Structures are given as C-alpha cells and as structure tokens.
C-alpha cells in the first residue's frame, strides 16, 4: 500500500474542508431546475425543435405516464438507434407513449370562501357595471385550481411544483400560478371577501421561499431559475389590512425577510452617480440555455447572433421574463429582440417595489415589537429613497427613468413604470406629483382614450405600443389618486373611466376578459409577442374590481360621448327632421 506524504495529507484535508464549506453554504438550496426532461437535455431539445405542438409550453406542461428513469432510458435507446436525430413521427409516438395530456394534474376548485353577494357589489351605481362585476366575481370559481395528491407523492413525474393550498390562476395557457399576477388577483379576492383563499396562496408562496430561497416566476420547475416583480410583502400587507391576522405575520415574518435577502444578495448592483455610490436592484438571471417553455423560439433567435453571444442572449431573455415585461423594447438596444440586455438597466418599478417592501417590513417588525429589525429595514428604505432620487429621478421631465448601466444615462422613453414611485409611496418631496402630472401631459399619454399604452414604441412585442396591461393602469391610477392634488385625483378618475369602458366594451362583445388590450383599435384584445392573446384573466379582473370598488359611485358603462347614444342622436336630429318635413 502506498503511503501518503504528510504534506499531501494536509492538502487533501484542506481541499475536503473547502469543499465541505462550499457545499455547506449551498446545501440549503437545491439548484434551480435540474430536470433532464423539463429543463435541459436532448429529449427536450429534440421534441421542442421538432415543433410537435403549436406552443412550446404545451410539451413542458405534460405530466409523465411512465417513471422518469424509464422515460430517459427509453429516449436514450431511441436516440442511439437514430444517431441523435429521431424522425418527427417517432418523436410524436415517443411523446404519446411517455407523456399524458397537460392540465391533468390540476382539478377545478371552487373556493370554500366564495359567497354570493359580497358587499362591494352593492356600492356600484351603474346597473350594467354592477352586473358585470357580479360576473367577474363568479369567474373566481372558474379560475380556482387544486393539485392532485399525486403531484406531491411523485413530484418528478410533473413539471408542476407542488403547492399544498388551492389557488387562483391567470387563465388561458397559464394554468399554474404566476408571482406578480397573484398580487392583483388577491386584491380582487379580498374585495370578493375571500381572505381564506388569499391566505392559502400566501402560504404557497411562503413555502416556496422556504424551499428555494425565492419565489419562481410561476409554478413550474422550468420557472425556477428566475423570479418576478417582488410583491410578496405587499400581498401580506393587504391580507393583514383585511384580516388583522397578526399571528400569521408573526409566524412568517422571517420568510418575508428571506425573500428580500434574495433580491439583495442576487440582484443588487452599485451605481455611481456624482461621485457617490448607490446600491439598487436589477433583473438578472445567471443561467443560459433556451427557456424550456419557449425553447424553439429562443433557439432560433440565438441562430441570428454569433455563437459566442448565445448563452448571454438566453440569460437576458430570462431576465426579461423575470421583469414581467416579456418582452419590451424597454430592454432592447435596437428594435430587434436579439438586442435584449435586461440586466444592463436599473428599473424604476423593481426599485419602487423593493422600497415599498422595505418600508412595510420595517412596519411589520415594529408591530411585532422587534425595533432592531424595524430600524434595519427603515434604514434600507431611506437609502433606497436617496438612490431613487439621485439615480432615477429627473426633475426637469417630472418622472423617474430606468438607468442604463452601459451608457450611464437615463432611458427617457415613456413607460407607465416611470411613475411607480408614486404608487409605491417612494418619494420625499410632495411636489413630484404635480410634476408627474405635467409629464403625462407633455408625453400626450392622456390623449389615449382606451387605456395607458405600455410604451410609445410599436415594436410588435407584447409589452409595447399599442398594448395596455391592467397592472400598469393600476400603477398610474393609484399613484395619482394617492396625491392630495384634486387635479391629479380627477385625472386618476378619468383614466379609471377609460380603462373600465375599454374592458366593459370588449366584455360586452366577447363575454371575455383578456390579459391585455389594444389602445389603438378602440380597445380590442391585444396582440403581438410570442403567443396568442389569452382569456381569463386574473389580474385584469382584479384591477377592474378595484376600480369599480373605488369609483363605483361615479363610473359609467355608457358609450363614449353621450351624444352618440341613439336616443341622444334622435333628440339632436329631431328639429332638423321636423324642419325638413315641414
């Protein structure tokens, strides 16, 4: 037996120790998305590149019908037999024999706390709008989902991440939960007096933070590499306002702090302005590879750039998805999607959401009597306020703008997100509200009568002109409505009226609510981007219910200017008719 020299022993021990330390520091968290079926590998690659389905998301949503090891070994045999290029027909057969249809892992669920006539409906004066709100309230039953127990007993047979508690989904192709969507869904559920459903959804999110260290973009393993706009602390705040369930806060406050840690540790960036360094956050996903649910599109897009730039492109696409704005010229350097560089921008909305979360968490700790932690989060908020003002605020234009890390300049294009600090209450000088109002006038945003567009850039992407999205309406409307300026409040009401009419008109024609609307064509369902426009729709319903609740005594379903109503026209034309007849 060979003997080791003393020095070698020491070296080995040292290496072991280092390895142990490294593993130790990471042991708590599993790596995001290991699955050789749903996240990486030849099987995913060949099936998606063969385009067996119209929408790549369909394949990665299908549960297995055979154990995962068997699926992989059968695939390897087939792949070897065909020299890594399996004919389409055989791939189709393989999928048929090893996978089940999508959505079989979810059962419909009628929320236990759903009730017939929540109070807020009674406060809506316009009878048509009140009836409509009643129908939207009914939709919660259609959007409720519950997981089958087998998702818990055999997690690796599914891409779905098991959630213990039932939840409400956006709708359409989105049959799992989504992180930031859920905030507006919860606002609607709370108006519908369904706090138990909200509590279950909150528990699911808290469980995810405890398991993965963050909340994934949505409830599938292939979403684990990225998060979405951080609104968990705000969700808790809204739930507490409705229930005063302090015991629940006490139980979970450390988990809220853990989520904010994720953003601090994995998504922060130092920006130097005027000789002073500020710490802010950005969307950033340090993983390459095509997104499994849009695999063939991402792979084909990568073919248009040099080979050495592909992994970086995929990571920037994932960061774009993390922002919730997938995709938008907001993240591009040219008009092409392949120029995306999400992580090179410091976004106004992300930093406003975090500023608000830090303030809320400080208040929560204070309520629980933990002044040391309260002070820590208040000081974080104060630092971020200073950073928002120094880096993102533009007093000349009267708005905040994303900071471009590459050019060191602000991106002065219009996006509704430019006003998020008003909504989040993250500013110190009350004069900013009037300036922001002037900014909306200067950019002529108030001339759009069907909703606030996502940008003024008609790029063909879904988070651009002419699409308008419900959460962005809420950011601007409630941002202005919070102000003490009567003018800002009146503009907020007008914007609410515009949005309600657009949604109501489309609903009257199609009996459906959509994920987005087109402001250029008299308010039609929106278009563009990677997939067909989707019906449902969780956050759209939530925002409509919020606006109907807030302005229910004033909003009308009436057609555009009252002049166009048939009876108005008749009255207006009557004298002419009489004269003519005379």
Ligand X SMILES: *[C@@H]1O[C@H](CO)[C@@H](O)[C@H](O)[C@H]1NC(C)=O
Active site residues: 326, 515
Shortest distance (Å) from residue 570 CB to ligand X: 35
Question: Between residues 333 and 556, which has the closer beta carbon with respect to ligand X?
Answer: 333
Shortest distance (Å) from residue 305 CB to ligand X: 16
Structure tokens at 235: 């969700």
Helices in 329-454 by DSSP H: which ranges?
348-367, 371-387, 420-424, 432-442
Q: Which residues pair with 160 in a beta bridge?
A: 220
Stretch (H or E) spanning 310:
helix 310-322
Site string (123-142) toward ligand X, x via CB under 6 A = x-------------------
- Distance in angstroms (rounded) separating the CA atoms of residues 188 and 135: 13
Counting Cα atoms < 13 Å in the Cβ hemisphere of 124 gives 25
Q: Which residue has the tokens 């290991």?
A: 34
Counting Cα atoms < 13 Å in the Cβ hemisphere of 506 gives 25
Q: Does 76 sit near ligand X (CB under 6 A)?
A: no
DSSP code of 517? E
The Cα-based distances of 340 to 63, 318, 347, 350 in angstroms read 32, 10, 14, 18
Question: Between residues 39 and 492, which has the closer beta carbon with respect to ligand X?
Answer: 492
Q: Which of the ranges 116-124, 163-171, 378-386, 487-495 carries the binding residues for ligand X, by CB under 6 A? A: 116-124
Question: Between residues 147 and 350, which has the closer beta carbon with respect to ligand X?
Answer: 350
Of 457, 461, 462, 503, the residue at the interface with ligand X (CB under 6 A) is 457
Question: Between residues 281 and 373, which has the closer beta carbon with respect to ligand X?
Answer: 281
Length of the chain: 582
Which residue's CB comes closest to ligand X?
329
Shortest distance (Å) from residue 565 CB to ligand X: 28
Q: Which of the ranges 32-40, 283-291, 331-339, 559-567 carries the binding residues for ligand X, by CB under 6 A? A: 331-339
Of 3, 127, 153, 334, the residue at the interface with ligand X (CB under 6 A) is 334
Residue 281 phi, psi dihedral angles, 5° rounding = -120, 160
286 CB-near residues (< 8 Å, 6+ apart): 315
Q: Which of the ranges 115-123, 237-245, 358-366, 375-383 carries the binding residues for ligand X, by CB under 6 A? A: 115-123
Shortest distance (Å) from residue 145 CB to ligand X: 28
Of 70, 97, 119, 444, the residue at the interface with ligand X (CB under 6 A) is 119
Q: Which of the ranges 97-105, 106-114, 119-127, 505-513 carries the binding residues for ligand X, by CB under 6 A? A: 119-127
* CA proximity to 337, closest of 354, 320, 353: 320
Shortest distance (Å) from residue 376 CB to ligand X: 16
Separation of first and last alpha carbons in the chain: 124
- Residue 287: exposure state from Cβ atoms within 10 A (0-12, 13-18, ≥19): middle
Evaluate whether 427 touches 373 at the Cβ level (below 8 Å).
no
Q: Does 117 sit near ligand X (CB under 6 A)?
A: no
Site string (275-314) toward ligand X, x via CB under 6 A = ----x-----------------------------------
562 CB-near residues (< 8 Å, 6+ apart): 568
Q: Does 120 sit near ligand X (CB under 6 A)?
A: yes
Shortest distance (Å) from residue 457 CB to ligand X: 4
Question: Between residues 175 and 280, which has the closer beta carbon with respect to ligand X?
Answer: 280
Structure tokens at 582: 């005379």
Question: Between residues 161 and 340, which has the closer beta carbon with respect to ligand X?
Answer: 340
Shortest distance (Å) from residue 122 CB to ligand X: 7
Evaluate whether 323 touches 76 at the Cβ level (below 8 Å).
no
Q: Does 329 sit near ligand X (CB under 6 A)?
A: yes
Question: Between residues 118 and 170, which has the closer beta carbon with respect to ligand X?
Answer: 118
* Residues between 357 and 416 with contacts to ligand X, criterion CB under 6 A: none
Evaluate whether 320 touches 283 at the Cβ level (below 8 Å).
yes
Neighbours of 68 (CB within 10 A): 17
Q: Does 228 sit near ligand X (CB under 6 A)?
A: no
The Cα-based distances of 337 to 292, 328, 465, 567 in angstroms read 18, 8, 15, 50
Q: Which residue has the tokens 């027909």?
A: 89
Of 270, 304, 379, 395, the residue at the interface with ligand X (CB under 6 A) is 270
Question: Between residues 85 and 447, which has the closer beta carbon with respect to ligand X?
Answer: 85
**How many residues make contact with ligand X (CB under 6 A)?**
14
* Residues between 250 and 269 with contacts to ligand X, criterion CB under 6 A: 268-269
Evaluate whether 226 touches 321 at the Cβ level (below 8 Å).
yes
Structure tokens at 344: 């090179």
Question: Between residues 88 and 509, which has the closer beta carbon with respect to ligand X?
Answer: 88
* CA proximity to 296, closest of 99, 572, 579, 52: 52
| Residues found near ligand X in the complex (CB under 6 A) | 83, 119-120, 123, 268-270, 279, 329, 332, 334-335, 457, 459
């Amino acid at each position: 037996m060979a003997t080791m020299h003393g020095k070698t022993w020491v070296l080995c021990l040292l290496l072991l120790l280092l390895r142990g330390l490294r593993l130790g520091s990471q042991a708590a968290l599993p790596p995001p998305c290991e699955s050789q079926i749903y996240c990486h590998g030849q099987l995913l690659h060949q099936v998606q590149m063969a385009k067996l389905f119209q929408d790549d998301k369909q394949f990665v949503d299908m549960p297995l019908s055979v154990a995962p090891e068997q699926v992989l070994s059968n695939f390897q045999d087939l792949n070897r037999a065909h020299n890594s290029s399996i004919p389409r027909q055989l791939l189709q057969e393989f999928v048929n024999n090893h996978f089940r249809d999508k959505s079989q892992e979810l059962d419909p669920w009628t929320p236990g706390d759903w009730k017939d006539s929540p109070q807020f409906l009674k406060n809506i004066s316009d009878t048509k709008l009140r009836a409509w709100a009643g129908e939207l309230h009914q939709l919660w039953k259609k959007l409720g989902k519950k997981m089958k127990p087998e998702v818990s007993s055999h997690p690796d047979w599914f891409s779905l991440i098991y959630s213990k508690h039932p939840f409400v989904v956006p709708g359409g192709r989105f049959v799992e939960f989504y992180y930031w969507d859920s905030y507006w869904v919860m606002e609607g559920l709370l108006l519908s007096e369904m706090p138990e459903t909200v509590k279950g959804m909150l528990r699911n999110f808290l469980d995810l933070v405890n398991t993965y260290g963050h909340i994934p973009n949505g409830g599938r393993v292939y979403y684990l590499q990225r998060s979405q706009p951080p609104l968990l602390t705000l969700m808790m705040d809204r739930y507490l306002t409705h229930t005063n369930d302090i015991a629940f806060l006490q139980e979970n406050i450390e988990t809220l702090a853990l989520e904010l840690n994720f953003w601090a540790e994995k998504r922060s960036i130092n920006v130097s302005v005027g000789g002073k360094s500020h710490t802010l956050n950005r969307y950033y996903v340090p993983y390459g590879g095509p997104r499994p649910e849009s695999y063939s599109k991402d792979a084909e897009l990568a073919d248009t750039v040099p080979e050495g730039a592909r992994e970086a492109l995929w990571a920037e696409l994932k960061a774009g998805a993390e922002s919730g704005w997938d995709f938008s010229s907001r993240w591009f350097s040219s008009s092409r999607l392949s120029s995306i560089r999400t992580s090179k921008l410091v976004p106004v909305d992300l930093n406003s959401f975090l500023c608000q979360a830090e303030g809320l968490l400080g208040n929560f700790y204070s309520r629980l009597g933990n002044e040391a932690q309260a002070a820590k989060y208040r000081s974080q908020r104060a630092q971020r306020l200073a950073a928002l003002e120094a880096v993102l605020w533009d007093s000349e234009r009267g708005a905040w703008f994303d900071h471009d890390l590459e050019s060191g300049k602000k991106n002065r294009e219009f996006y509704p997100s430019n006003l998020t600090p008003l909504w989040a209450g993250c500013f110190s000088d009350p004069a900013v509200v009037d300036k922001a109002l002037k900014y909306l006038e200067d950019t002529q945003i108030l001339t759009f009568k069907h909703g606030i567009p996502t940008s003024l850039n008609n790029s063909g992407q879904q988070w651009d002109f002419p699409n308008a999205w419900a959460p962005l309406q809420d950011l601007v409307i409630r941002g202005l409505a919070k102000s003490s300026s009567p003018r800002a409040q009146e503009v907020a009401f007008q914007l609410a009226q515009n949005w309600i009419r657009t949604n109501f008109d489309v609903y009257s024609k199609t009996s459906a609510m959509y994920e987005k609307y087109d402001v250029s064509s008299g308010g039609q369902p929106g278009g563009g981007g990677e997939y067909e426009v989707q019906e449902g729709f969780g956050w759209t319903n939530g925002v409509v219910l919020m606006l109907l609740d807030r302005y229910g005594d004033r909003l009308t379903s009436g057609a555009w200017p009252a002049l166009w109503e048939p009876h108005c026209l008749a009255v207006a034309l009557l004298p002419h008719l009489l004269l003519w007849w005379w």
